[in-house]
Amino acid sequence: MPRPIVVPPDDAPHLLVVDDDARILALLQRYLTENGYRVTTVASAAEARAKLESLSFDLLVLDVMMPGESGLDLARGLRGRSDVPILMLTARTDPAERIAGLESGADDYLGKPFEPRELLLRIGAILKRISAPQSTTKPPEAVRFGDFVFMLDRGELKRGIEAVRITERERDMLRALARAPGETVPRTELAAPGVEASERAVDVQVNRLRRKIEDDPANPLFIQTVRGIGYRLVVAP
């Protein structure tokens, strides 16, 4: 039985996927369409530029290594006149390549081969971040959870009157969680700046932080896992 044709709604986010591999283009168009996105695909930077002249897109999925003009060159050119979000794909995973992608203006970076589900989560996280309304509410100066108080500005964590020693990475992660208490923070936002978000690396760092604040790190009360997405900080009402 043929698979049913999925037609996303007219107001669904519109993605432009740029890759010279026809097989990947076909797979991503089907998968992303089935998950509610409108998708346009092109095979080169020149075709992408032509589409961008006539259509508006909510996000670009851009391959780095393409014949002729590379994805990095296209991203740099776009950043001079557009703030459209860019998620870059590459078969090269060395740190210098990832840094070059981020410096070119990309919002996120994903190495090939990748799980389609991870690509979907990263796209969703980027779109959620850019569409979130800018709050006029002043962020909290301190967040309390259990016996702990975390001072966001100073990055100080205390249990009662005793200071708890945490590393700079743990401080950055706790600050990201404390800015939005009770809300899910994606792993990409908890990763070290300028480094591709490795689920394993973030999970290890979160587990180290849990050992400092949880009575039972295997059954955490405060830093809770949101499966497949990230973490959230549960605070006292």
> Consecutive 10-residue runs of the chain (237 residues): their mean pLDDT?
65 93 93 94 93 92 87 84 86 64 75 87 86 60 91 90 89 90 86 59 89 92 88 81
CA dist 193 and 206 (Å) reads: 16
Give the per-residue pLDDT at 197: 46
For the chain, the C-alpha Rg in angstroms (whole number) is: 20
Residue 152: name the closest of 171, 170, 133, 137 by CA.
Answer: 171
Give the per-residue pLDDT at 203: 87
Q: With contact defined as beta carbons under 8 Å apart, do 223 and 203 qualify?
A: no
Q: Model-level pTM?
A: 0.56
CA dist 14 and 37 (Å) reads: 6
Q: With contact defined as beta carbons under 8 Å apart, do 122 and 37 qualify?
A: no
**Amino acid identity, residue 132?**
A
- Sheet of 59-63, strands arranged across: 38-42, 14-18, 59-63, 86-90, 108-111
Q: Which domains does the chain have, with CATH numbers?
A: 14-131 (3.40.50.2300), 142-233 (1.10.10.10)
Q: Residue 117 is inside which H or E element, if any?
A: helix 116-131
Burial of 44 per CB tally in 10 Å (0-12, 13-18, 19+): middle
